[in-house]
Amino acid sequence: MSIDFSKLAVEGVRTLHPYQPGKPISELERELGITDIIKLASNENPLGLSPKAKAAIEAEIKDIALYPDANGFYLKDAICKRFGLKHEQLTLGNGSNDVMDIAVRTFVGTGDEVVCSQYCFIAFPISAQAQGAKIITVPAKADFGHDLTAMRAAITPKTKLVYVVNPNNPTGNWLRAGELKAFLDSVPQNVIVVYDEAYFEYADGTPEYPDAFGWLNQYPNLIVLRTFSKAYGLAALRVGFSVAQPECAGLMNRVRQPFNVNSLALAAAVATMNDADYIKRVVELNRQGMQQYQQAFEALKLHYIPSLGNFITVDLGRPAAPVYQAMLREGVIVRPIGNYGLLNHIRISIGLPEQNERCIRALKKVLAG
């Protein structure tokens, strides 16, 4: 006797294609039997763990048999002191994509509409489809960035939520403060704007790049997402947060799973927030690595998308899938992004200088072959 589970699943899940992560090093080792592999596929921090975070994790291990603080008081307190916020504005998540999913589950139901840009982070439409929403995907501009004018025009009385990513993943381009503020001014207050700043630390300080925390009082329909997975180097521990009006955050915290951030992640996030020297090194290393790739692509006459993230997306001028496979055989994992419709592009995370150089050598070899 067999069961047709697709008939039992909710409608939005039946045709859902799950998120595809970057290939792990261990998987490539199993597949090809090779070692000495570098992974530049998932926008991870090449410096690894902050020494202060490592010490905090070691101190926390003694209580690993106990549940974590479900409300994450000390992490919330550190965030509030750093950014001038209030505890009741915060929702903690198992990575910022968890908080994004919480926002979707809180405000979007079957038949509602959501608006996003072509090439936006693919986890958002996955969450929205699972909720049974109608996804309005607005074509990107010629530079692969959000067309905010067209996104505003796509909002209808059925629209519950709009998703904006800045800098955008996987393309890396960014929105300026003036154009974003004009967009927020135009969005009806009964439409939630989820504004994803996962790569904020790399972009911060760039002329005209906005810091949306300062806009929360002016735009009560704004939810801002940030993560500790990128510049803070805690990708494996999974911790992120959102900031919103207290009433909005209160509703989201009703949906949030209990203990969704573990005790090691909570301790490490607080410690890394207090390691300013580490973050400074991370950002400077990324700046230097970005220059490495830009110079290499220009020498190879390859078009790349200017990026404010810790990654760069390059047009190979040919189908990317065979290039990706050939680079795997060289022991270099990058990210093909054909699932975004960018069939000739790969996304490369910025690594250590020697990793970047090895990736560039492998790419040159594969393209020449």
Q: pLDDT tens digits, the chain, 369 residues: what are they?
A: 688 877 777 777 777 777 777 888 899 889 889 999 999 999 999 999 999 999 999 999 999 999 999 999 999 999 999 999 999 999 999 999 999 999 999 999 999 999 999 999 989 899 999 999 999 999 999 999 999 999 999 999 999 999 999 999 999 999 999 999 999 999 999 999 999 999 999 999 999 999 999 999 999 999 999 999 999 999 999 999 999 999 999 999 999 999 999 999 999 999 999 999 999 999 999 999 999 999 999 999 999 999 999 999 999 999 999 999 999 999 999 999 999 999 999 999 999 999 999 999 999 999 998
Same domain, 161 and 267: yes
| 67's tokens | 């549940």
240: alpha, beta or left? (left if phi > 0; alpha if psi -120 to 50): beta
| 51's tokens | 């020494």
Give residue 114's Cα distance to chain centre: 19
Q: What is the pLDDT of residue 21?
A: 76
Q: What is the pLDDT of residue 1?
A: 65
- Residue ending a domain, among 273, 293, 328, is 273
Q: What is the pLDDT of residue 166?
A: 96
Of 316, 315, 312, residue with least CA distance to 287: 312
Looking up tokens 């109608």 gives 134
Of 149, 221, 153, residue with least CA distance to 183: 149
User: Which residues 6+ apart lie within 8 Å of 298 measured at CB?
Assistant: none
Same domain, 123 and 84: yes
Angle at 214 between CA 213 and CA 215, to 5 degrees: 90
Same domain, 168 and 217: yes
Dist. CA 241–CA 224, nearest whole Å: 8
Q: At 338, is the secondary structure helix, strand, or coil?
A: helix
Same domain, 16 and 156: no
Residue 56 in domain: no
Residue 54 in domain: no
| 142's tokens | 């010629």
What predicted TM-score, i.e. pTM, was given to this entire model? Answer: 0.94
Q: At 313, is the secondary structure helix, strand, or coil?
A: strand
Same domain, 255 and 281: no
Q: For residue 242, give its domain range.
A: 62-273
Residue 111 in domain: yes
- Residue ending a domain, among 273, 303, 321, is 273
Q: How many domains does the chain have?
A: 2
Q: What is the pLDDT of residue 23?
A: 84
Residue 53 in domain: no
Angle at 277 between CA 276 and CA 280, to 5 degrees: 85
Same domain, 66 and 146: yes
Same domain, 36 and 162: no
Q: What is the pLDDT of residue 200?
A: 96
Same domain, 142 and 218: yes
Dist. CA 111–CA 159, nearest whole Å: 10
The CATH number covering residue 340 comes to 3.90.1150.10
The CATH number covering residue 70 comes to 3.40.640.10
- Residue ending a domain, among 225, 241, 273, is 273
Of 152, 77, 69, residue with least CA distance to 117: 152
